[in-house]
Chain A
Amino acid sequence: MMPGHYGLDQKLLWACGGILGLLVVATIVGRVMRLAIKDPVAEGTIANLNQRIGSWWVMCAIFGLTLVVGSTGSLVLFGLISFLALREYLTLIPTRRADHHTLFWTFFIFTPLQYYLLSLKWLGFFIVIPVYGFLFIPAAMALAGDTQSFLERAAKIQWGLMICVYCLSYAPALLTLNIPGFGPDAKLLLFLVIVDQLNDVLQYVFGKLLGRHKIAPSISPNKTWEGFVGGTLSATAIGTALWWLTPFSLPAAAAISLAIALLGFGGGLVMSAIKRDLGVKDYGNLIGGHGGILDRMDSLIFAAPVFFHIVRFFYGS
């Protein structure tokens, strides 16, 4: 394939076909379960499962469409996701009136700037938020003059910008990576998203089917050792089997998939801990059955930056 260009190649189509097949199977299973199981306790879970599957169709359609459009499509999509995630996060974070201008900057200057720099394929996107954003936020807040819980407020806004914008932007940043013999290629982003999101789904499925021993009862009743082990192993197996989407060898694909699965689990755990701290169940209600955007992106927030740097370090030119 030509460097700097990607399009509808055969492998991308196969992967998209595989996702489509998975959605069809999941939909059929969900419908059959709804008809077959009449247990009043399980009915709520099954209704939620069917709602989740319905949302998966929409999410896959949007993601697939932007992948086909090209790198601009993915940048716009993830830029929008960052914006909406930041909105969910900052809605729940207590801020004060003096923070108004700082909040305006995070939404309308730093978020678009991060994705604009990415569109230029300029590696400066690495430093804008962790250096300039990091220093700008407390400076702007100090100028506003309100010192009550100053450090706490500044840290919470910085954190929002880091997770919702900086970390997430590493996913579309994969489209800027030059890899000899592979090129900047959307399949890398597709691989990350498939392994990461399937890890979430499989941890949920194994947890619902076999879950007995809670990993972190104070954080989430849904995270169990059975779900964690089953999800991590099966997501790693799927990632390994998808090595042909990537520049990785078979063992490398296994190791990298394992890393994605472990990081995804860590992201889910951390973002759940924040929810417990804030006293909410979900970050929002934008995605039917799943909760908010942040509830779906929690694992990717952790997996995307590390995956990017692994690939860049071992495979980049």
Chain B
Amino acid sequence: MNVSSLAGIVAGAARFISGVQASWRDGAPQARQSVFFANHTSHLDFVVLWASLPADIRARTRPVAAQDYWDRGLRRALAVNVFNAVLVPRSGEDRPRESRARSTIDRIAAEMGDDYSLIIFPEGTRGTGESVAPFKSGLYHLCLQKPSLQLVPAFIENLNRVLPKGQFLPVPLISRITFGAPASFDPLEPELVFLERMRDAVCGLRER
């Protein structure tokens, strides 16, 4: 079985299990190099976001995932072969924090090349689902390197109830993902203003 049909099966299974209802506020997405970014409440977030993308876009979209969690055994096989994830370190290196973050962004930008899109969760860590935490600066630094990226916000609802932080067994409730209108990067905009604008774009998609 080739990788793309396996990916199709995994995406279908993820959609069925999560019962995800995806909607595009601004119509179907353009097939441009993009960053899809969303609120983060569950380990299932990137799987469901990835599975909700149209097949042609999904094939050119790579989630960013934590190396320490995904880089072993079966998880690694799944992350590398099916999701084509970009695995980045979260901790464990003894270089100064700032330069480590920079080298991670450099790596992500290099892995994107000129045609891969990305799935990231700018909060950096999973929340409770009630509020969206302030965004980390990674999104901004990535945009500095690749200013022409199409920035697509998404809001994920109910996945925190399907598989909350700290739980092992999922409960099959229906989740919903809403994609918003694409935004673009403005190099003149201050970092914090940009990050707040992106966060507002995500929060504005919340239905209730």
Interface residues of B in 92-119 (CB under 8 A from A): none
In the complex, what's the smallest C-beta–C-beta distance from B23 to chain A, in angstroms?
A: 11
Given the complex of chains A and B, what is the CA–CA distance between A88 and B161 in angstroms?
Answer: 13
Q: Does B183 make an interface contact (CB < 8 A)? A: no
Q: Does B172 make an interface contact (CB < 8 A)? A: yes
Q: Does B67 make an interface contact (CB < 8 A)? A: no
Please name all residues of chain B whose beta carbon is closer than 8 Å to the beta carbon of A100 when the two chains form the complex: 161, 164, 167, 169, 171
**Known pairs A87-B19, A97-B128, A285-B21; A103 contacts B171 (CB<8 A):** yes
Q: Does B174 make an interface contact (CB < 8 A)? A: yes
Q: Mark A95-132, 1 if CB is under 8 A from B, else 0.
A: 10100110110010000000000000000000000000
Q: Is the CB–CB distance between A88 and B171 below 8 Å? A: no
In the complex, what's the smallest C-beta–C-beta distance from A145 to chain B, in angstroms?
A: 14
Given the complex of chains A and B, what is the CA–CA distance between A95 and B167 in angstroms?
Answer: 15
Q: Is the CB–CB distance between B172 and A107 below 8 Å? A: yes
Given the complex of chains A and B, what is the CA–CA distance between A97 and B42 in angstroms?
Answer: 13
Q: Does B173 make an interface contact (CB < 8 A)? A: yes
Known contacts A100-B167, A100-B169, A103-B173; 14 additional CB pairs below 8 A are A87-B19, A87-B172, A87-B173, A87-B174, A90-B173, A95-B161, A97-B128, A97-B164, A100-B164, A103-B171, A104-B171, A107-B172, A284-B174, A285-B21
Given the complex of chains A and B, what is the CA–CA distance between A87 and B170 in angstroms?
Answer: 12
Whose C-beta in chain A lies nearest to the C-beta of B21? A285
Please name all residues of chain B whose beta carbon is closer than 8 Å to the beta carbon of A45 when the two chains form the complex: none
Q: Does B137 make an interface contact (CB < 8 A)? A: no
In the complex, what's the smallest C-beta–C-beta distance from A247 to chain B, in angstroms?
A: 39
In the complex, what's the smallest C-beta–C-beta distance from A112 to chain B, in angstroms?
A: 13
Please name all residues of chain B whose beta carbon is closer than 8 Å to the beta carbon of A279 when the two chains form the complex: 208
Q: Does A249 make an interface contact (CB < 8 A)? A: no
Given the complex of chains A and B, what is the CA–CA distance between A240 and B208 in angstroms?
Answer: 47
In the complex, what's the smallest C-beta–C-beta distance from B129 to chain A, in angstroms?
A: 9
Given the complex of chains A and B, what is the CA–CA distance between A101 and B208 in angstroms?
Answer: 25
Whose C-beta in chain A lies nearest to the C-beta of B176? A91
Please name all residues of chain B whose beta carbon is closer than 8 Å to the beta carbon of A103 when the two chains form the complex: 171, 173
Residues of A within 8 A of B (CB): 83, 87-88, 90-91, 95, 97, 100-101, 103-104, 107, 279, 284-285
Given the complex of chains A and B, what is the CA–CA distance between A13 and B192 in angstroms?
Answer: 71
Interface residues of B in 141-164 (CB under 8 A from A): 158, 161, 164
Q: For A91, give its contact among B128, B164, B169, B174 (CB under 8 Å).
A: B174
Please name all residues of chain A whose beta carbon is closer than 8 Å to the beta carbon of B161 when the two chains form the complex: 95, 100
Please name all residues of chain A whose beta carbon is closer than 8 Å to the beta carbon of B169 when the two chains form the complex: 100-101, 104
Whose C-beta in chain A lies nearest to the C-beta of B171? A103
Q: Is the CB–CB distance between B167 and A91 below 8 Å? A: no
Whose C-beta in chain A lies nearest to the C-beta of B166? A97
Q: Is the CB–CB distance between A88 and B172 below 8 Å? A: no
Q: Mark B166-208, 1 if CB is under 8 A from A, else 0.
A: 0101011110000000000000000000000000000000001
Please name all residues of chain B whose beta carbon is closer than 8 Å to the beta carbon of A95 when the two chains form the complex: 161
In the complex, what's the smallest C-beta–C-beta distance from A238 to chain B, in angstroms?
A: 35
Please name all residues of chain B whose beta carbon is closer than 8 Å to the beta carbon of A90 when the two chains form the complex: 171, 173
Top 5 closest pairs, chain A to chain B, by CB:
A91-B174, A103-B171, A91-B173, A104-B169, A97-B164
Whose C-beta in chain B lies nearest to the C-beta of A284? B174
Q: Is the CB–CB distance between A107 and B171 below 8 Å? A: yes
Please name all residues of chain B whose beta carbon is closer than 8 Å to the beta carbon of A83 when the two chains form the complex: 172
Please name all residues of chain B whose beta carbon is closer than 8 Å to the beta carbon of A285 when the two chains form the complex: 21
Given the complex of chains A and B, what is the CA–CA distance between A305 and B190 in angstroms?
Answer: 65
In the complex, what's the smallest C-beta–C-beta distance from B57 to chain A, in angstroms?
A: 23
List, sorted by A's number, 8 A–B pairs whose CB atoms are closer than 8 Å.
Answer: A83-B172, A87-B172, A87-B173, A91-B174, A97-B164, A100-B161, A100-B169, A104-B171
Q: A91, A107, A285: which has the most chain B beta carbons within 10 Å? A: A91
Q: Is the CB–CB distance between B21 and A91 below 8 Å? A: no
Whose C-beta in chain A lies nearest to the C-beta of B128? A97
Q: B19, B21, B164, B171: which has the most chain A beta carbons within 10 Å? A: B171
In the complex, what's the smallest C-beta–C-beta distance from B41 to chain A, in angstroms?
A: 11
In the complex, what's the smallest C-beta–C-beta distance from A291 to chain B, in angstroms?
A: 13
